[in-house]
Structure 1
């Protein structure tokens, strides 16, 4: 869809942020001089957990790329299609929302949709949870995400099966006990020769005590359609045409006729995505932390993403409904 898309972004809520007061003290350094304040996240080096421990990305001895929170926000990244374009070793083939095959270093398997055949060779993880599926890579909405890591394969030692070509990890921001804060973001966009779409997103971080905090994220996104379902009539086969041997070779279009009057719609292939995420962080002691997380996302895709040139540019004649949902 992106080759038809020309976004005109209009800010609804210009990253509206709100925060409660947070007080901090810095201990004096040796010699009585005040210690320097910590460097802000925007200026610090990217810390990754590709090898199951915190490391500077420059010291990780494997081939990988990472997109930080700052980069994701700057480029307004919100879905799989957008962030994979920034990862040089990753490619993908998609037919429609919810049906995608991922390639890393040109390798992929499981793209035929046969769940009894080969498993995917590119693994997908949300935090530490594998979400790899055959022919249906989960398009998790990207908002309030700490970073996206792309680890070129093979990664079977740390990430098991379905990671022979590589692994893609989405690391979310965790609840923070430092203070109460939140943000709301909105967008309106238009599609070339299509309709109007947009999104509304928000998050709240609320400390419950000095050892517990709750973080809640919500989002709604509508991708505008650009395929028109125009009025038309379809007539089915009636009289059979046979050859001299009695074999059916064709038919006359003189059977039942149906029309799509009830389904005619301009820009009918829109997609809606909505859901939310909630995480609770509890520090059991100085060494152990538990962070149970609940994620719900639903996607409803209407229409199809192909057109019939014989009907017209970006137009089709469909005589039955096509609504698909992905949870």
Structure 2
């Protein structure tokens, strides 16, 4: 099969088409003929040499795919050959075939093509577990989502809005403002021109927001604490501006704040399968009704994975970047 190879860490130019033996599904896994694969920030980090795959995972880039089940390993009960699925992977998505644990596969929502289905798993698993499980965002609360124009941001805006929250988000370019409003953002903050702490306080009549979903870290950390209300929750999912921060514990104590965060990839198959079940119960009905849909910015052929990585790192996109494989 064809796949995107990375002989050594480096820039997007290190990604080249190569060939390798098609993988075989182990017990509890399915082999998927990949029609489309999503590009995500962790893929770029891995290409740079900063995010190694967990033990036993494929060295091939790619954390989410959509396609057709071609073979089932022993003990697989839910899926059969010919089923159309999207799947969360620990690696291996930038290829014509990929294997996935059966519990990490989900049915493709009604009226979705493979491109839109491939844009679901990584971002939807991430947003659900961080914003709603760890962050405990509830109907009627207010959330601030940083990076509103990316795949995580556009997903989080829609999910929070549809589940009854007021949504603030930060973006870097004016072209993203209207897109984010269409997705359900109540206030879009141009962070290069506006102070998100001031806006958060004004929007909430001085109280502050209940939950912040942040992938920036660095200088945002202290400002996030200022923007939170009493008993607010800060959920950290990446550190694009740096992982080292200073913390005055008194602010945590006085406002009774909760700080948490996570990474998705190292979690066990059992944990990821549990998240998949929660998504199918709580979010898939919204997708099947057409109330929610991932925003696709650009579709590229598999051979142009390097162009997709360059676009991702430029941050000039609003929504998901997807590779078309078949």
TM-score by length of 2: 0.20
Q: Which has the higher contact order (CA 8 A, sep 6+)?
A: 2
Larger proportion of strand:
1
Q: Which has the larger radius of gyration?
A: 1
TM-score by length of 1: 0.20
Larger proportion of helix:
2
